[in-house]
């Protein structure tokens, strides 16, 4: 195996005064922030699809970046991709990777041939992981959306044959994830949605999606898988309406079908904004419902209405994200997967490194700011005080279930008017506190 990125060595941490574009300015893997090293807090992952496969192809033009890894034969290319991925992870000090089955190995003529070829690649990865146990699988998933058979959905296809095929593909992807010691398995509903209700039995489609998820969980547990299952919400794209619209919608779905104990969320920043939410909103909804799991780290463009999957560089957003992560107690099985791609014009091999450095440094800064927001205490103290009426008196009686409607009426009548119990929300003051913390790092 040769070196793919000659001239790029291991990316060092050089600190904020460095002008070296191939050095970290803020990500210092062994530095302790909030009681753990940055490496443990941030748990960065490489996404196989964007980094190893994405060549910049879009609907207006062909690829601009060479992602052939010097091989034309699909099987040789799949293995070269593994070598290149391990080199990238190594040079960037990234410990985890995420994959779709078809990112590792493409489809061949039949499912049995496709499965056999996938086995060869996962064997090869397993060998490399044995040689370097610092490299781990954050999560795996099945690409049940690109092939024409999935044009009307996979788990939500009108065809029972397609449902069965998807189940077989997912079974194999779970096997691959378990074989590689994956900590998570993701369901992202690629084409699980609809274009028009004129041709759609929504009730049956949702029931079937739940059936597939139940079957998958039961199968994985039966072969000893102990990791997490995640749903990755997204409101639209590729379908007009995706069933897994946002975290709140997914939670309702999981509860309806009794799957809420089995699934957590994989929250993607760009999906949150497509759903007209902030990234922090989605993380907060997951957290307060005990469903926070993992993160697809990227960012959208506020002027564009699709999943641009840009590398995250907005430090305000990474800080609010890491604030939610720290408040959730940090990652357990999850991590920060860069579901992100360099722009089509950023086509050179160095751009892969510049992109990851930019994203990792932005999250390192976000972590430091979030940790400071918590230790500074001004924001948390303000929120605590704002809700202090719930800790004594009538508020405590309500929370403890002691107050009846009649009691509350009696209380309100005795007060006559309660507007005076309200204080200012102090939004501007708190935003200034956040700026003060950000820029005094
Ligand atoms: C697409 C999704 C996809 C999932 C994995 O928008 O983000 O990349 O993360 O299937
Ligand atoms: Ni994603
Ligand atoms: Ni996405």
100 is catalytic: yes
pLDDT over 70, % of the chain: 100
Residue 1: pLDDT band with limits 50, 70, 90? low
CA of 299: how far to CAs of 45, 270, 282, 441, in Å? 16, 5, 14, 23
Active site residue: 100, 271, 277, 281, which one?
A: 100
At residue 138 the predicted structure's pLDDT band, cuts being 50, 70 and 90, is very high
Backbone angles phi, psi at 293, to 5 degrees: -125, -70
The mean pLDDT of the chain is 98
Residue whose Cα lies nearest atom 7 of ligand 1: it is 339
* pTM > 0.85: yes or no: yes
Residue 188 CA, ligand 1 centroid: distance in Å: 6
Find the catalytic residue in 95, 101, 103, 361. Answer: 103
- Binned at pLDDT 50, 70 and 90, residue 336 comes out as very high
Q: Which ligand is nearest to the CA of 188?
A: 1
Tell me the CA distances in angstroms from 271 to 8, 245, 300, 301, one per residue in order. Answer: 33, 9, 8, 11
Ligand 1 site, CB within 6 A: 100, 141, 186, 188, 232, 234, 268, 296, 307, 339
C-alpha of residue 145 to centroid of ligand 3, in Å:
13
414 alpha carbon – ligand 3 mean position (Å):
54
Please state the rounded mean pLDDT for residues 251-262: 99
Question: What pLDDT does residue 441 have?
Answer: 87
Residue whose entry in the numeric block shows the structure tokens 């041939």: 113
Provide the Cα torsion 417, 420, 422, 428; round to 10°: 140
Phi (first) and psi of residue 105, to 5 degrees: -155, 130
Identify whether 103 is a catalytic site residue: yes
What is the H or E stretch that residue 294 is in? strand 292-296
- Cis-peptide, bond into residue 238, ω within 30° of zero: yes
């Amino acid at each position: 195996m040769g070196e793919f990125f000659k001239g790029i060595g291991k990316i060092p941490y050089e600190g904020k005064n460095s002008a070296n574009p191939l050095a970290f300015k803020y990500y210092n893997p062994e530095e302790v922030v909030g009681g753990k090293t940055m490496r443990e807090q941030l748990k960065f992952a490489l996404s196989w699809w964007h980094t190893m496969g994405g060549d910049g192809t879009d609907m207006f033009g062909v690829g601009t970046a060479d992602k052939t890894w010097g091989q034309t034969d699909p099987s040789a290319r799949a293995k070269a991709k593994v070598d290149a991925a391990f080199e990238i992870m190594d040079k960037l000090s990234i410990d985890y990777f995420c994959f779709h089955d078809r990112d590792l190995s493409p489809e061949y003529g039949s499912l049995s041939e496709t499965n056999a070829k996938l086995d060869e690649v996962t064997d090869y990865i397993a060998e490399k992981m044995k040689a370097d146990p610092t490299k781990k699988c954050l999560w795996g998933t099945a690409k049940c959306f690109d092939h024409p058979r999935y044009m009307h959905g996979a788990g939500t296809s009108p065809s029972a044959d397609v449902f069965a095929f998807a189940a077989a593909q997912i079974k194999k992807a779970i096997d691959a994830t378990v074989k590689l010691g994956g900590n998570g398995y993701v369901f992202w509903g690629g084409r699980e949605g609809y274009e028009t209700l004129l041709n759609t039995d929504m009730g049956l489609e949702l029931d079937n999606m739940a059936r597939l998820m139940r079957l998958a969980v039961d199968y994985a547990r039966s072969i000893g898988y102990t990791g997490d299952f995640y749903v990755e919400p997204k409101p639209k794209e590729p379908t007009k309406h995706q069933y897994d619209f946002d975290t709140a919608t997914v939670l309702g779905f999981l509860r309806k079908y009794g799957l809420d104990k089995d699934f957590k969320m994989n929250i993607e920043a760009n999906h949150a904004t497509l759903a007209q939410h902030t990234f922090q909103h989605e993380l907060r909804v997951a957290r307060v419902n005990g469903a926070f799991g993992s993160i697809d780290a990227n960012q959208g463009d506020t002027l564009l209405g699709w999943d641009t999957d840009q590398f995250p560089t907005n430090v305000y957003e990474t800080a609010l994200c890491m604030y939610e992560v720290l408040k959730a107690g940090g990652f357990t099985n999850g991590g920060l997967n860069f579901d992100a791609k360099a722009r089509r014009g950023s086509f050179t091999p160095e751009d892969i490194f510049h992109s990851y450095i930019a994203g990792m440094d932005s999250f390192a800064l976000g972590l430091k700011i979030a940790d400071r927001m918590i230790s500074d205490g001004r924001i948390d103290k303000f929120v605590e005080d704002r809700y202090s009426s719930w800790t004594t008196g009538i508020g405590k009686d309500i929370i403890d279930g002691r107050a009846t409607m009649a009691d509350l009426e009696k209380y309100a009548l005795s007060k006559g008017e309660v507007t005076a119990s309200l204080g200012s929300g102090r939004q501007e003051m708190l935003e200034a506190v956040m700026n003060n913390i950000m820029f005094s790092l």
